[in-house]
Amino acid sequence: MKHHGTTILSALALTLMCAAGCDAEEAEPAEFRALADNSAELNGIVINGIVINGIVINGIVINGIVINGGETAGVTLESALAPDGDDVQFMWTSISSGRMMMITKGGSFFSGTGAVGTELTFNSDEGDYRLFVDDIEYFNSGEFKGGSLYHYDLTYEVKGESGWTGDKTPLCYDGQGNPTQALILPGEWDQETGDRLSYSATSLTAACRQGALAKCAEWGYRPGLMPSTHQTCLRMVRADYDGSGVPHTLNGTEINVGDVYGINYQASEPGLMKEAEWGPNGAICLNREFLRHPELTGCEDPDDPETCFPGIPECWGAPENLQIYLYWWGARMVTAIGIEPQ
């Protein structure tokens, strides 16, 4: 399964004080998934477990805006308007597909692609902002592992000295500087550490595609359904071995991925060497000889378990065996790298 990482992506985490509730729809898992890079399909169906990963958790938060209900760090949600212009009373997202749903004060219900035209206004110490839902694309259960998904075209506007200018800017960009879409995920994540802060379906994070949060959801690990495995994927994608939030990889690095559920299966084959087994707090074991980028670990001797991530043991078994041995310790995923034949 091959994806392409990108460099800098934008994102906005926003939480509304809404009624608890979510759409617990579950779609059949897809046998294959389409590959996307810069929102363009590459090579259709995928049969292996290769992932080209990136290190961005979710990109850049606009001036640090993270809405956590009411006021957070000088930021408040001033208004939330539904597509019909009525005030939104409740807003939430489905735990599987990321389908945005809302009920207005007048009792109207908007859902899925019907949420196009939603507008959110924020006040902050750094300025006032409006976020717009300009378009929504629905992908059925055959497009992505884990079932159907909604992708959102989001833009924002900054209030100038003379008022709202009408100049809208895309919220998300890919590595080539082209606008890209976002997923709406339930919950919140710390942009520095990658730690999950909330599991609520009424706490909405706009996760730009190609960032680690969205990638892991697209690869079949939906945070609303598999929160621990999605968190494991977040650590794995960024080579966050010790769970500190520090990445030890580069965008565009190929890794081979498997998991204990068979969502993504990676069989042992010549040239593949196990890098690590992963859990939600980072690597549960390492084969230090086969780290993706040992030069990025900061270790004087990356092969020395006494000084390089000393709290993480060496993996069991031969490195060419990609079996997940430590699932009873919480290991959910395994990564391997390809070694050129000598």
> In this predicted structure, what is the pLDDT of residue 52?
52
| 50 conformational bin, left if phi > 0, alpha if psi -120 to 50, beta if neither | beta
Where residue 57 falls among pLDDT bands split at 50, 70, 90?
low
> In this predicted structure, what is the pLDDT of residue 45?
24
The closest of 141, 109, 281 to 222, measured between CA atoms, is: 141
The closest of 68, 9, 61, 1 to 30, measured between CA atoms, is: 1
3-state secondary structure of 22: coil
| Per-residue model confidence as pLDDT tens digits over 229-245 | 999 999 999 999 999 98
Average pLDDT along the chain:
78
> In this predicted structure, what is the pLDDT of residue 11?
31
The closest of 31, 37, 29, 34 to 53, measured between CA atoms, is: 37
Distance CA 176, CA 164 (A): 29
Distance CA 298, CA 42 (A): 35
- The residue type found at 152 is Y
Give percent of the chain above pLDDT 90. 46
Over range 248-274, report the average pLDDT: 90
Higher pLDDT, 132 or 71: 132
Over range 102-131, report the average pLDDT: 90
Contact (Cβ atoms closer than 8 angstroms) between residue 223 and residue 39: no
Contact (Cβ atoms closer than 8 angstroms) between residue 276 and residue 302: no
> In this predicted structure, what is the pLDDT of residue 339?
85
Over range 124-141, report the average pLDDT: 89
Distance CA 142, CA 147 (A): 7
Over range 28-56, report the average pLDDT: 31
Residue with the two structure tokens 């190609």? 210
> In this predicted structure, what is the pLDDT of residue 74?
54
Residue 83 has pLDDT above 60, yes or no: yes
> In this predicted structure, what is the pLDDT of residue 159?
87
Beta strand ranges found along 105-216 (DSSP E): 109-111, 119-124, 127-139, 149-160, 163-164, 169-170, 182-186, 188-189, 196-198, 203-208
3-state secondary structure of 242: coil
Residue 149 has pLDDT above 90, yes or no: yes
Pull the structure tokens for residue 231. 């968190």
Give percent of the chain above pLDDT 70. 77
29 phi/psi in degrees, rounded to 5: -65, 145
Pull the structure tokens for residue 40. 């363009």
Q: Give the global pTM.
A: 0.80
| Per-residue model confidence as pLDDT tens digits over 284-339 | 999 999 999 999 999 999 999 999 999 999 999 999 999 999 999 999 999 999 88
Where residue 46 falls among pLDDT bands split at 50, 70, 90?
very low
Cβ-based burial of 23 (10 A; exposed 0-12, middle 13-18, buried ≥19):
middle
| Per-residue model confidence as pLDDT tens digits over 84-95 | 999 988 888 899
Strands 60-66 and 10-15, sheet pairing: parallel
| Residue boundaries of the structural domains of the chain | 10-338
Residue 105 neighbours by CB distance under 10 Å: 11
> In this predicted structure, what is the pLDDT of residue 2?
31
Residue 119 has pLDDT above 90, yes or no: yes
Residue 33 has pLDDT above 70, yes or no: no
Cα angle 121, 124, 127 (rounded to 5 degrees) comes to 85
Over range 162-180, report the average pLDDT: 85
> In this predicted structure, what is the pLDDT of residue 188?
80
